[in-house]
Amino acid sequence: MTTSSSRLFTAPIFLGTAFLVFGLAILEKVLNLVGWSLPFAGVFPRQLLDWATTLLMFEIALMLRQMIELWLEDRRSAPVVSDPRLPH
């Protein structure tokens, strides 16, 4: 039987890419402070941070959706237990 944590799968490529873009934004900002620039990054560091934030938010949304689906699946499969304190 699988546990809930082993059934969770998000898109690790989004997470890895977001952290890579975030690192590029920090590096570009530091290089811009000393007057240099990354030759392959033709955008401002703020735009790189926007892209990284967008990817992270998409990853969080995917994770929350999967968690809710697993919670609902576990809730449906759980036996119904009557509470003796409730009126009949």
Query: Tens digits of per-residue pLDDT, 56-83?
Result: 999 889 888 888 888 888 878 877 667 6
- Residue 19 pLDDT > 80: yes
Task: Examine residue 69 and state whether it is found in any structural domain, yes or no.
Answer: yes
Q: Look at the chain and report how many structural domains it folds into.
A: 1
pLDDT bracket for residue 34 (50, 70, 90): very high
Sequence-distant (≥ 6) Cβ neighbours of residue 69 within 8 angstroms: none
Once rounded to an integer, what is the mean pLDDT over residues 25-41? 85
Cα gap 71→12, rounded to integer Å: 21
83: left (phi over 0), alpha (psi -120 to 50) or beta: beta
Tokens of 73: 């699946």
Task: Examine residue 81 and state whether it is found in any structural domain, yes or no.
Answer: no
Instruction: Give me the domain span that covers residue 38.
Output: 10-76
Task: Examine residue 2 and state whether it is found in any structural domain, yes or no.
Answer: no
Q: What angle do CA 29, 52, 5 make, to 5 degrees?
A: 135
